[in-house]
Chain A
Amino acid sequence: MLLFLLITGITCGQNKITGQLLDTSLPLPLPNVSACLLSAKDSFIVTDTRTNKNGFFELKNIKDGDYLLLFTYPGYVDLFQPAQCKSDSTSIINLGIVSLMTKGHLLADVIIKSKSASAIVIRGDTTEYTADSFKVDKNANVETLLKQLPGIQIDPYGHIKGQGKDVHKVLVDGEEFFGSDPLLVTRNLRADMVDKVQLFDQKTDRAIFTGIDDGIKNKTINITLKQNKKNGAFGKIEASAGTNNIYGSRAMVNAFKGAQKAAAYLTVANNGVTDLSSSDQGTFGSIAGGSGQFQGEGLPTSISTGGHYNNSWQHHSTTFNGDYKYNQLQIKNQSSTTDQNFLPEDAYIITRSDLQSHNSKSLHLINMSSDIKLDSSSSLKIAANGQLENTLNRSNTRSAAYNQNQLLLNNTDAANTNKTNSQYLNTSAYWTKRFHKDKRTLSAMVNLVQNNRTGSGSQNATNHFYSTKAANVPDSSQYIDLIKHSSYHLDQFSANITYTEPVSKSLSFIANYGYDGFKTRSNINAFDQLQGANTENIDSLYSNHFIYRQINNHLGLDFSYGKKKVLLSFGNHFNQQKLEQVNLFKDSAFTKTYLNMAPHVNLTLNLSSQKSFNVHYDGASTLPSVYQLQPIVDNTDPLYLVVGNAQLKPSFSNKLSASYTAYNTKSDQYFTINMSYNLTSHGITSNISTDATTGKTLMSYLNINNRFNTHFYSAGTYSFGVSKSQKLKLSVSAEVQNSKYFNFINGVQNAMHAKSYALALGLDKTRTSTYDFNISNTLGYIINKASLQNALHNNYLQSNSTLSFNYYLPAHFQLHTDLDYVWQDKTNQYTTSFNRLLLNSWIGKKFLKNEQLLIKISANDIFNQNTGFSRNAYNNIVTQHSFLTIGRNFGVSVIWDFKKFKSEK
């Protein structure tokens, strides 16, 4: 219900201010409204009066000057009205109808009323939380604080979501910290240092600079530090030891002094904790799943350390930000794999293999960047990134393949070693200039990349092929004994220039030209030891020497229109790509030139400060890779060979997507739905031919010209508070996928159809007194169909449940339990269902004055079910894989938090 105050005819003349106050909804004059005159500059109360029974007021004997009129009445929101008094002016300031909302209505839309003033405030697209209004434990880190904030969710691995969207960057006082990796900020910094947490949509650098919104936004969090916490040191030291020789230790130290921030860390462990961050993990597949936790295969032992420094000078006009990291990782693994390769007419081949490996890597990394304001309208940013990496891999494999009649087709015994040494350097400079006219800008960027890699290793293999007529009788054999030396060199130069010009107040255009040229030289010299040990003859079958050059020219023209709630951008980019590959061994070359374009349209409607709708179309070409066109024959697996196709054409994909997001601060409800449809023409796909007698597979590439590959995806999430007093939140998500994809098997076209439906429910309770928990369950139904192979027809149900629970006992004791349960129904290929329950628990007690010391006893994987197991299906090959992982272990850990801040009075 709205109650309106109407102010009519405020006159200011002859040093007198008069007016009348009405309630428009009745409409009746309002008596006793307080009319107060404040000086505009410093808010001193000059004089005040009340309206009479007819709503009129009069303020007399006002000196010349600038004032603010303040009208207040109980139950109405205060109204400020500027008024300027000049004794020579008799102009009438007619304010017309001024609507005031009652306080109840205002609070429902914008600000949350809480015990302390404005715990949450929304300004435009930024939601700002006052950290002290949210209660956390004494030594809690920023991650624990973020969990309390409505609208922000954190999963058990530390991934952050703000208003339903992923947050990839967390800044500290506006600056990146350790490369802005969220975990290094959220798990390192203390909650009691935080003044405000700001959640906002970060525009692209180009959009911020040019002032022309391109519609691309990234959800970002900025943590501002309290004034008295900008000077001091804090950190954490942890050590743990357990059964199975598992140990871990970590030290993190930070020293802040105003704009200067320095930090360092050291981790030595074999318990799976490799590093704090999720980035720059190098070559070993999925080393860290983004949580600093090893989620790959095998048993890791690691040492990692790093340092960070950033500072700014001259009122932030020059800034410097630098990181150094060193990481040493060793992984021991033993794994078994079963591959089932489906062929036409119900034939198939099963291959069982066992692998033992030992991989190690050491990596030095250095990152530096500096922002310099050259003058009031131009700035320069320079950055450099360098890496030095050494790797050593050793593996042994034994495998055997059988056909559908259990007849042995082939077996292999192989041993490989490889050692590499690489250097990488990337430098860039970005110059921007703003002209006098608003939104007219010029920017230029230059980038240089150099990468060198040398390696040496040996390859040994014995392959036996068996006759199909008599079981277990070798038909032929192949022996490989090679020593290989390889080198790879990359040089890349790219430059880009962008000019933006306003056509009208709401329309601008952006013109962009870019050049990108690179050259690689790749050389593998293989020496066949069967010709004689230490031969110097380069084996021509297994060696190669290629030079590859690519030059890209790119011209783009975009328009951007922004007015009130509408943001529309559209444009087209033209690309020319020239590829050239020279084979120095065979003295041959081939070149290809491609011309293509990428149109796009993006429409965003900001329906209110918390509701937005977006629809988006993108067209893009995907070029065949040099590997698909003219592959380097990679013979490390003689049973699987790849042949290129120089006639391949680029594929073109059209993507249409739409999304709607709505967030209600007062009731902490959010809803988001998005869908996308992707249609690809001339898709580049594979043709896999397997010889049913030998089990050898040959893969080549083709364009699909008579069919489109399609992919439809839609997902929605709705989350709301179930009980405010109990701090209970419920979230529901649904996801649907439907894709159709074509490939060839033994030269015959095959259609793969995959559909999946998933429904997830999550319940989260933040701590009110003695406990908190987080439960979620995702139920999915997957349908797989292949036109050529009925045995690949696969429908199954799967479920994944997670639970995290904390119970706070008296005397600073805490009990924690988390579990992860996965279940997959049996299918046509996997004849048993799969289930696994991972349960971890710990009990700990806090000691010392500020609860700074935590000692805990933990049990990980209590049911010992983390045996390392995965199932996979790709094209017509279905794989089941088991590997070594860190199994059940018990341990004791000691964690000490320290802090020392200089308070500023």
Chain B
Amino acid sequence: MKPKKVIKLFLFFLLISKGYLYGQLPAIITKGKITFERRVNAYALLRDHFDLPDNQRFQQFTIQYKAANPQLHKTSFDLYFNDSLSFYTPTKTEHSSDQFIDVIASGNSVFTNLHTLQKLSEKSVADNQYIIKEPLGKIKWRYTNDTREILGFHCHRANAIILDSVYVVAFYTDQITSKSGPESFWGLPGMILQIALPGNYIVWEAKRVIAENVPGADFDFKPKGVQSNPEALEKAAASFLTSNIGFALNWFLLTTRL
């Protein structure tokens, strides 16, 4: 090979190697917006709790629901985040209620301050809105060696038990520095991109991540409704359920606590 060619090749390799080092390192994301899809396995919920052979009404309801709705009930949420705040809210598009899953605490909005460790949420039971202000509860996460790729982000798995008995599996990425996630899940070394309650038919999964400056206006949360607290909300949900279906189905009570 001619010397000139050799030098040219060497410089070329040097350039692209430098390029790899400087230009191709994955970028750390500190603020942006993530769109999550929340999926509830409605059929499984019906099968496990409404499959009472001697209850005609439940049987009827199950058949009617299945005829009009798909197995997985999907809703979309946006999570705005920066280094200290995060705001989780349903995506601003019209979607009709399915008269079952959407009745209680299905379209929660949660505003979290990771510096003061306080959260402010707006939750609904039937047509009534409730505003809850409470401190962020500490979640004891257990780190595991399992990993998964979500939207091109390399995620680690961590497990936890919340509310004494609810098992949670979360995948988080250290590439996004915010320690937040959907609903009021928080506390991992990075952003939660996927979280599931395996025994409770719900999973949230990130569908789109946009790294951008989030204007303060996006964090401007003015919740509507009645000032309340978690116990009162749960009681309201329980009484609504009892009067409508005859018993307080735990699944719905759980969604008021998330």
Q: Are A45 and B177 in contact (CB under 8 A)?
A: no
Give the Cβ gap from A49 to chain B, nearest Cβ, in Å.
8
Q: Is B216's beta carbon under 8 Å from chain A?
A: no
- 15 example contacts (A-B, Cβ-Cβ < 8 A) are as follows A25-B21, A31-B28, A34-B174, A36-B189, A38-B143, A44-B140, A44-B141, A45-B142, A45-B187, A45-B188, A72-B156, A73-B174, A74-B26, A74-B154, A74-B174
Q: Are A32 and B26 in contact (CB under 8 A)?
A: no
Q: Is A26's beta carbon under 8 Å from chain B?
A: yes
Q: Is B158's beta carbon under 8 Å from chain A?
A: yes
Q: Is A92's beta carbon under 8 Å from chain B?
A: no
Binary flags per residue of B22-37, CB closer than 8 Å to A gives 1, else 0:
0001101000000000
Q: Is B20's beta carbon under 8 Å from chain A?
A: yes
Binary flags per residue of A70-105, CB closer than 8 Å to B gives 1, else 0:
101111000000000000000000000000000000
Which A residues touch B146, using CB under 8 A? 117
List 8 tightest A-B contacts by C-beta distance, closest first.
A74-B26, A34-B174, A48-B189, A32-B28, A74-B175, A45-B141, A34-B189, A43-B143
Q: Are B177 and A50 in contact (CB under 8 A)?
A: yes
Q: Is B182's beta carbon under 8 Å from chain A?
A: no
Q: Are A32 and B177 in contact (CB under 8 A)?
A: yes
Q: Is A587's beta carbon under 8 Å from chain B?
A: no
Chain B residues within CB distance 8 Å of chain A: 17, 20-21, 25-26, 28, 140-144, 146, 153-154, 156, 158, 173-175, 177, 179, 187-190
Cα of A42 to Cα of B159 in the assembled complex, Å: 12
Cα of A747 to Cα of B67 in the assembled complex, Å: 101
Q: Are A45 and B143 in contact (CB under 8 A)?
A: yes
**A:817-866 near B, CB below 8 Å:** none
Which B residues touch A470, using CB under 8 A? none
Binary flags per residue of A7-48, CB closer than 8 Å to B gives 1, else 0:
000000000000000000110000110101010001111001
Q: Is A541's beta carbon under 8 Å from chain B?
A: no
Cα of A32 to Cα of B179 in the assembled complex, Å: 13
Report if A1-B174 is in contact (Cβ < 8 Å); known contacts: A36-B143, A75-B26: no
Give the Cβ gap from B139 to chain A, nearest Cβ, in Å.
9
Which A residues touch B190, using CB under 8 A? 34
Report if A42-B142 is in contact (Cβ < 8 Å); known contacts: A1-B17, A72-B156: yes
Give the Cβ gap from A677 to chain B, nearest Cβ, in Å.
43
Give the Cβ gap from A36 to chain B, nearest Cβ, in Å.
5
Give the Cβ gap from B152 to chain A, nearest Cβ, in Å.
10
A-B contact count (CB 8 A): 51
Which A residues touch B143, using CB under 8 A? 36, 38, 43-45, 70
Which A residues touch B173, using CB under 8 A? 74
Cα of A73 to Cα of B144 in the assembled complex, Å: 16
Chain A's closest residue to B188 (CB) is A45
Cα of A117 to Cα of B21 in the assembled complex, Å: 28
| Most central of B25, B153, B177 by chain A CB within 10 Å | B25
Give the Cβ gap from B154 to chain A, nearest Cβ, in Å.
6
Cα of A639 to Cα of B187 in the assembled complex, Å: 96
Cα of A43 to Cα of B156 in the assembled complex, Å: 13
Cα of A1 to Cα of B17 in the assembled complex, Å: 9
Give the Cβ gap from A69 to chain B, nearest Cβ, in Å.
12
Give the Cβ gap from A45 to chain B, nearest Cβ, in Å.
5
Q: Tell me the dominant secondary structure on chain A's binding face.
A: loop
Which B residues touch A45, using CB under 8 A? 140-143, 158, 187-189
Give the Cβ gap from B32 to chain A, nearest Cβ, in Å.
15
Cα of A421 to Cα of B14 in the assembled complex, Å: 82
Cα of A863 to Cα of B10 in the assembled complex, Å: 63
Cα of A800 to Cα of B146 in the assembled complex, Å: 50
Cα of A50 to Cα of B191 in the assembled complex, Å: 13
Cα of A279 to Cα of B53 in the assembled complex, Å: 61
Chain B's closest residue to A42 (CB) is B142
Not counting A34-B189, A44-B143, a sample of 9 additional A-B residue pairs whose C-beta atoms are within 8 angstroms of each other reads A1-B17, A34-B190, A36-B143, A44-B141, A45-B142, A48-B188, A73-B174, A74-B174, A74-B175
Report if A75-B25 is in contact (Cβ < 8 Å); known contacts: A44-B141, A45-B158, A48-B189: yes
Which B residues touch A38, using CB under 8 A? 143
Cα of A26 to Cα of B22 in the assembled complex, Å: 10
Which A residues touch B140, using CB under 8 A? 44-45
Cα of A45 to Cα of B140 in the assembled complex, Å: 7
Cα of A43 to Cα of B144 in the assembled complex, Å: 7
Give the Cβ gap from B169 to chain A, nearest Cβ, in Å.
14
Chain B's closest residue to A70 (CB) is B143
Chain A's closest residue to B28 (CB) is A32
Give the Cβ gap from B147 to chain A, nearest Cβ, in Å.
8
Which A residues touch B28, using CB under 8 A? 31-32, 74
Which A residues touch B177, using CB under 8 A? 32, 50
Cα of A34 to Cα of B175 in the assembled complex, Å: 9
Which B residues touch A44, using CB under 8 A? 140-143
Give the Cβ gap from A31 to chain B, nearest Cβ, in Å.
8
Chain A's closest residue to B176 (CB) is A74
Cα of A32 to Cα of B25 in the assembled complex, Å: 13
| Most central of B21, B156, B174, B188 by chain A CB within 10 Å | B174
Which B residues touch A72, using CB under 8 A? 156, 174, 189
Cα of A117 to Cα of B189 in the assembled complex, Å: 23
Cα of A45 to Cα of B177 in the assembled complex, Å: 16
Cα of A73 to Cα of B17 in the assembled complex, Å: 20
Give the Cβ gap from A307 to chain B, nearest Cβ, in Å.
44
Cα of A43 to Cα of B141 in the assembled complex, Å: 9
Q: Are A26 and B21 in contact (CB under 8 A)?
A: yes
Q: Are B21 and A43 in contact (CB under 8 A)?
A: no
Chain B's closest residue to A35 (CB) is B189
Which A residues touch B189, using CB under 8 A? 34, 36, 45, 48, 72
Which B residues touch A26, using CB under 8 A? 21
| Most central of A3, A38, A44, A74 by chain B CB within 10 Å | A74
Chain A's closest residue to B187 (CB) is A45
Give the Cβ gap from B208 to chain A, nearest Cβ, in Å.
19
Set B20, B141, B175, B179: member contacting A1, Cβ < 8 A: B20
Cα of A596 to Cα of B153 in the assembled complex, Å: 70
Which B residues touch A31, using CB under 8 A? 28
Which B residues touch A32, using CB under 8 A? 28, 177
Give the Cβ gap from A870 to chain B, nearest Cβ, in Å.
58
Give the Cβ gap from B98 to chain A, nearest Cβ, in Å.
33
Cα of A25 to Cα of B25 in the assembled complex, Å: 14
Which A residues touch B153, using CB under 8 A? 74
Binary flags per residue of A136-164, CB closer than 8 Å to B gives 1, else 0:
00000000000000000000000000000
Cα of A117 to Cα of B142 in the assembled complex, Å: 20
Cα of A1 to Cα of B144 in the assembled complex, Å: 28
Cα of A31 to Cα of B177 in the assembled complex, Å: 11
Which B residues touch A74, using CB under 8 A? 25-26, 28, 153-154, 173-175
Which A residues touch B174, using CB under 8 A? 34, 72-74
Cα of A123 to Cα of B49 in the assembled complex, Å: 47
Chain B's closest residue to A103 (CB) is B154
Which B residues touch A42, using CB under 8 A? 142
| Most central of A32, A45, A75, A117 by chain B CB within 10 Å | A45
Cα of A26 to Cα of B21 in the assembled complex, Å: 9
Cα of A44 to Cα of B139 in the assembled complex, Å: 10
Cα of A106 to Cα of B201 in the assembled complex, Å: 37
Cα of A1 to Cα of B24 in the assembled complex, Å: 13
Which B residues touch A70, using CB under 8 A? 143
Give the Cβ gap from A3 to chain B, nearest Cβ, in Å.
8
Cα of A50 to Cα of B114 in the assembled complex, Å: 15
Which A residues touch B142, using CB under 8 A? 42-45
Which B residues touch A1, using CB under 8 A? 17, 20-21
Give the Cβ gap from B44 to chain A, nearest Cβ, in Å.
18
Chain A's closest residue to B24 (CB) is A75
Cα of A296 to Cα of B190 in the assembled complex, Å: 70
